[in-house]
């Protein structure tokens, strides 16, 4: 039974996920020159310059080419390692190590939480200008003249908005794709390759949206396909994240009823069909109002925006990430027992 367990594709999916998350939480982001997401950014820039006509057709060509070339980041090393598995047991461990590293590169949990903590620390030290500068790396709006309250709002908005992008969406597609191909009877190693590939494709789509998906004169047409692809891929994970936030709020003793109410009322206030489902829910849980001036307002101004709100938002994000990991842990464990 032990031998069957270790060769079980679902078991491999589970251990790869847990080790990848551990690496992200303990080590954080890869060095810039070695980071697959940085490579994806370079690939996007290359094809943007190649298809430099601001049209939806150009955006479609960029999207197809970026996804195809980015896929090679996973396929080339993992298929080579798979090809040489017969040599010795060490190649199996190399294959698994590559899978863990590549999957870890699609997470940004530590970066997400640390970025919010940095702004919180600057505000606690009464260094508003430094906090504004730190927030400028996280949001697209002009931050040089933001008040303290708007800085707090901005960091909570970006923290909550990125719960799906930084982890939930990635683990969702990794797990679903892996489970489907495992149940279809694919080879254990093929299952891992396809699951990690799904995670990286989501990250590539998300990166394209962050680079091209803006309604500016330059990008309004070329970014149409990347933006809508990202909206489609995040549709389910964003709503799942909203419910994770409600559950987290209940466990943490926050206003989970308010979180549920504000999510239903205000989630569609944003231009994005997805981002409001996490931002509005966090606003409701904390009894605060989040505002991007002239764009959206989320929640009710029941409590003032204080620095401590950032800490509570970090707790919500951390616990939501924990809950989705536990959920898929038990899904994997149930499938492992069924397949033994």
Per-residue model confidence as pLDDT tens digits over 30-73: 888 989 999 999 999 999 999 877 789 999 999 999 999 999 99
2: confidence class by pLDDT, cuts 50, 70, 90 = very low
Q: Is the dihedral of CA 244, 246, 250, 255 positive or negative?
A: positive
340: confidence class by pLDDT, cuts 50, 70, 90 = low
What pLDDT is stored for residue 218 in this prediction?
Answer: 78
Name the strand (E) or helix (H) holding 26.
Answer: helix 9-26
Instruction: Say whether pLDDT at 320 is over 60.
Output: yes
Exposure string over 207-236, b if 16+ CB within 10 A, otherwise e: bbbbbbbeeeeebebbbbbbbbbbbebbeb
Per-residue model confidence as pLDDT tens digits over 157-199: 999 999 999 999 999 999 999 999 999 989 999 999 999 999 9
What pLDDT is stored for residue 5 in this prediction?
Answer: 44
Q: Per the structure block, which two tokens stand in for 267?
A: 């989630």
Structural domain of 276: 2-339
Query: Can you list the positions of beta strands (E) in 43-145?
Result: none
Per-residue model confidence as pLDDT tens digits over 243-259: 999 999 999 999 999 99
Q: Is 63 exposed, middle or buried (0-12, 13-18, 19+ CB in 10 A)?
A: buried
**How many folded domains does the chain comprise?**
1
What CA–CA distance (Å, rounded) separates 284 from 262? 5
What pLDDT is stored for residue 336 in this prediction?
Answer: 84
What CA–CA distance (Å, rounded) separates 232 from 274? 9
What's the average model confidence in pLDDT over 256-281? 94
Per-residue model confidence as pLDDT tens digits over 128-166: 888 888 888 787 777 777 889 989 999 999 999 999 999
Instruction: Say whether pLDDT at 114 is over 70.
Output: yes
1: confidence class by pLDDT, cuts 50, 70, 90 = very low
* Cα 78 from chain centroid (whole Å): 23
Average pLDDT, the chain: 91
């Amino acid at each position: 039974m032990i031998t069957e367990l270790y060769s079980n594709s679902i078991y491999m999916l589970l251990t790869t996920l847990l080790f990848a998350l551990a690496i992200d939480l303990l080590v954080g982001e890869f060095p810039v020159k070695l980071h697959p997401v940085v490579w994806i950014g370079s690939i996007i820039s290359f094809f943007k310059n190649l298809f430099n006509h601001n049209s939806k057709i150009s955006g479609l060509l960029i999207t197809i080419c970026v996804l195809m070339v980015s896929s090679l980041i996973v396929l080339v090393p993992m298929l080579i390692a798979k090809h040489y598995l017969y040599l010795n047991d060490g190649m199996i461990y190399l294959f698994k190590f590559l899978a863990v590293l590549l999957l870890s590169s699609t997470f940004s949990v530590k970066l997400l939480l640390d970025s919010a903590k940095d702004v919180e620390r600057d505000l606690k030290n009464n260094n508003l200008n430094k906090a504004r500068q730190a927030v400028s790396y996280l949001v697209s709006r002009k931050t040089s003249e933001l008040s303290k309250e708007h800085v707090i709002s901005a960091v909570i908005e970006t923290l909550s908005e990125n719960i799906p992008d930084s982890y939930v969406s990635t683990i969702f597609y990794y797990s679903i794709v892996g489970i489907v191909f495992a149940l279809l009877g694919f080879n254990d190693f093929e299952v891992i390759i396809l699951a990690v590939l799904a995670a990286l494709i989501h990250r590539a789509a998300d990166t394209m949206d962050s680079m091209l998906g803006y309604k500016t004169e330059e990008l309004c047409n070329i970014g149409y396909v990347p933006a809508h692809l990202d909206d489609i891929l995040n549709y389910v994970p964003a709503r799942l994240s909203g419910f994770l936030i409600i559950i987290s709020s209940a466990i943490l003793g926050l206003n989970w009823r308010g979180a549920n109410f504000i999510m239903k009322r205000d989630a569609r206030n944003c231009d994005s069909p997805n981002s409001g489902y996490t931002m509005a829910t966090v606003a409701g849980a904390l009894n605060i109002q989040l505002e991007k001036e002239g764009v959206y307002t989320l929640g009710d101004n029941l409590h003032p925006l204080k620095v401590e709100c950032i800490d509570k938002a970090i707790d919500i994000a951390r616990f939501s990430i924990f809950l989705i990991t536990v959920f898929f842990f038990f899904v994997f464990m149930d499938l492992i027992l069924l397949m033994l």
